[in-house]
Amino acid sequence: MSRHREHTLRRWLKDHGAMIERIASTYERRPALVAELTQDVALALWRALPDFRAEASDRTFVARIAHNVGISHVRRAVARPPGLSDDALAPVADEGPSLEHITDRAQQRARLQGAVRALPLSLRAVMALHLEGFSNIEIGHTLSLSPNNVGVRLARARSQLKAALESAQ
């Protein structure tokens, strides 16, 4: 690996690694495959690094690559439409203070991930980036959409997400 390229990749993975994994979890529900998809994103980032122009922030660049790798992954798998499944509701590894709180929070997060996965692709990417804390303009840059378009999609994604979460409870 060239030193500068390796250094940049390391920095991106350090800063955005968790975001990459969360985005990967909107395209795949099984933890092992999420990890695999995260690795694919890391490789895609390495390949795409020479194309990075500092016009956009590295966060939007990384998010775009992660979503595109997710789209390609789903196309290859041509899996059944994702939805709220038993797996998505399964408890996740421990994190947080008390055991009850841990399980509860992990389950809530798994539910949220499942509900985001159940959204159509055009809304899923917008909602995932919104939950990552992207502004509408940043989401627009990442997905090549106008801020107005992002706003409309976000409103629809919110209502669908709310319905999915309520039905899951």
Partner 1 sequence: MSNTDLELKSLWQSGPTVDIHTLLRHVARERRRMQAVLWVEIAACIASVGMFVYYDAAGVFGEQRWLAWGVIAVSMVVQIWMWRWRRGLWNATTRSPRELLTLQLSRARVGLRIGRYYAYGTPICTLLAFAGARFIAPNAPALSLSVSARLAVLAGLASVMIGLTVWGFRMIRRYRDQIAHINTQLKEFEHEDQRAK
Interface with partner 1 (CB under 8 A): 1, 6, 9-10, 13-14, 17-18, 20-22, 25, 38-39, 42-44, 46-48, 51, 61, 64-65, 67-69, 71-72, 74-76, 78, 93, 95-96, 105, 108-109, 111-113, 120-123, 125, 130-133, 143-144, 146, 148-149, 152-153, 156, 161-162, 165, 169
Nearest distance, CB of residue 90 and partner 1, angstroms: 15
CB of 18 to partner 1, least distance (A): 5
Q: Token pair 């660049």 is at which residue?
A: 61
Output 13 or 33, the one with its CB closest to partner 1: 13
Residue whose CB is less far from partner 1, 118 or 123: 123
Residue with Cβ nearer partner 1 (86 or 119): 119
Q: How far is the CB of 151 from partner 1 (least distance, A)?
A: 8
Q: How far is the CB of 50 from partner 1 (least distance, A)?
A: 10
With contact defined as beta carbons under 8 Å apart, do 167 and 83 qualify?
no
Give the shortest CB-71-to-partner 1 separation in angstroms.
Answer: 6
Q: Give the nearer residue to partner 1 in terms of CB position, either 85 or 112.
A: 112
Q: Are 54 and 111 within 8 A, CB to CB?
A: no
70/86 with CB nearer partner 1: 70
Q: Give the amino acid at 123.
A: L
In this structure, the number of other CB atoms found within 10 A of the CB of residue 24 comes to 23
Residue 12: Cβ within 10 Å count = 21
